Amino acid sequence: MNFSRNAKPSISTLGQRIRMARHWAGLSQTKLARSTEVTASAVAQWEHPEGTRPSLQRLEVIAQATRVPIDWLIAGGAWTPRSAPAEAEKEPPAVVFDVYAETLQEEALLRDFRLLPARARDHLAALVHESTSHRRKRRIKRF
């Protein structure tokens, strides 16, 4: 995608418009998440082609955080930002799209996991790895 100041964006999906607005504002997924009071994985899901959609109230907050018109964010059309930054910060993506919390239960597990002491995390990770490794081996054998 072209994120230059002279771009005439007519982006077809909401996720693409959120991503472009975030880039124009010079925000990483993590920083947009902080300013909109959601998790970084929520921002990644909004931007993913098959991800979730934010509520209208959340779209208003996204528009304010990225300094884009709410109507452009919702419907698209031609619009050019007044002052686009040189380039969004170089920060690793908040998540890899196939490794993010898909449910509230998974998000709660991750949050709780991070609260455990390091040794307990190591033991729990080894237990989960051991209990799922036989399933991975079976999948490989099927192909």
Domain boundaries, the chain: 1-100, 104-142
Give kind and range of the element (H or E) at residue 21: helix 14-24
Contact status, residue 25 vs residue 61, Cβ threshold 8 Å: no
Q: Which two tokens stand for residue 129?
A: 């790895």
* Cβ neighbours, 10 Å, residue 28: 19
Could you please state the CATH topology (level 3) that the domain comprising 1-100 is classified under. 434 Repressor (Amino-terminal Domain) (1.10.260)
- At 83-102, the pLDDT tens digits run 444 444 455 555 555 556 66
Q: Which residues on adjacent β-strands are paired with residue 55?
A: none
- At 37-81, the pLDDT tens digits run 998 889 999 988 888 899 999 999 999 999 999 888 888 777 666
Mean pLDDT, residues 4-16 taken together = 62
Quote the CA–CA distance of 68 and 25 in Å, as a whole number.
Answer: 9
Closest of 31, 29, 63, 23 to residue 46, by C-alpha? 29
